[in-house]
Amino acid sequence: MAANGAALDPLTGGPAPVRFRLIPEASRLEALLFEDPLTHNSGRSHDHVVVATGWSGELVWDSSGVCSGRVIIPVAGLVADRAEDRKRAGVEGELSDGDRALINAHMMAREQLHAAAFPDIVYSVDGCVEKGAGQWVIIGKMQIHGVVSAVPFALTGTFGPAGLEVRGRASFAQTRFGVTPYFALFGQRRNQDMVQLNLELKGEQIAL
């Protein structure tokens, strides 16, 4: 057995790959979007928290770096600015039901995620690099708005027969995926281009 309890690969002598089904109800995928403080109306708009629901994913984990997997997030399952999500993420202020409905409608519109044409966000894992005890970088590509681009995640946590439990963070520019950050009043209010992604993942081991 390897140090983390995983079986050894009889060909390499190292830890054998382990396949996990990610558990959405025990996990969390969120994106933070921030108001641009340099606009004329800065302070009159809001930072935002978007949480993914209805998603699914699997990960084949091999500490040698030969990792693979996929996470599929329905764009229609993205939910912005619920009061409990804002509080958990440390984002100040609460929004009215009308404001939240408008924000969610803008998020699905053609200028942003264009949900009607691009119904899924997909993250495909190409590899993993161990950076230290319990620390890795996941190498993968994100597909948003029909555009594919590399987005690495820095992760900390554990994996093994008892399951997978990791936390991670990444960031990317919306415009890299052809998404226009929200703006209003001819740009007097707008969001920053950069998005911060936070994840907390739990998974159960399944057969390869």
Instruction: Quote the DSSP letter at residue 178.
Output: T
E-only strand ranges, the chain: 18-22, 28-35, 48-52, 56-61, 68-74, 78-80, 120-132, 135-144, 147-150, 153-160, 163-173, 183-184, 189-206
CA distance 29 to 78: 10
111 located within any domain: yes
The set of residues, in sequence order, having a beta carbon less than 8 Å from that of 95 and lying 6+ positions away, is 46, 81, 83, 86, 103
DSSP 3-state assignment of 152?
A: coil
138 located within any domain: yes
Contact 170, 153 (CB under 8 A): yes
Q: Of 27-36, 150-159, 177-186, 188-197, where does mean pLDDT reach its minimum?
A: 177-186
151 located within any domain: yes
pLDDT tens per residue across span 120-179 = 999 999 999 989 888 999 999 999 999 999 999 999 998 877 899 999 999 999 999 988
182 located within any domain: no
pLDDT tens per residue across span 6-22 = 454 433 345 678 999 99
Confidence (pTM): 0.85
User: Which residue, among 202, 180, 203, has the nearest Cα to 193 in the 3D structure?
Assistant: 180
3 located within any domain: no
182 — pLDDT class (breaks 50, 70, 90)? confident
Number of domains in the chain: 1
User: Which residue, among 31, 47, 35, 50, has the nearest Cα to 187 in the 3D structure?
Assistant: 35
Query: Would you state the pLDDT for residue 162?
Result: 82
Contact 79, 51 (CB under 8 A): yes
User: Which residue, among 163, 203, 207, has the nearest Cα to 55 in the 3D structure?
Assistant: 203
* 97, containing H or E segment: helix 97-108
Tokens of 121: 């966000």
77 located within any domain: yes
Kindly report the average pLDDT of the chain as a whole number.
85
Query: Would you state the pLDDT for residue 44?
Result: 52
pLDDT tens per residue across span 30-68 = 999 998 755 544 455 578 999 999 999 999 988 777 899
Domain of 130 in residue numbering reads as 18-29+49-167+201-206
67 located within any domain: yes
- CATH number for position 56: 2.40.128.110
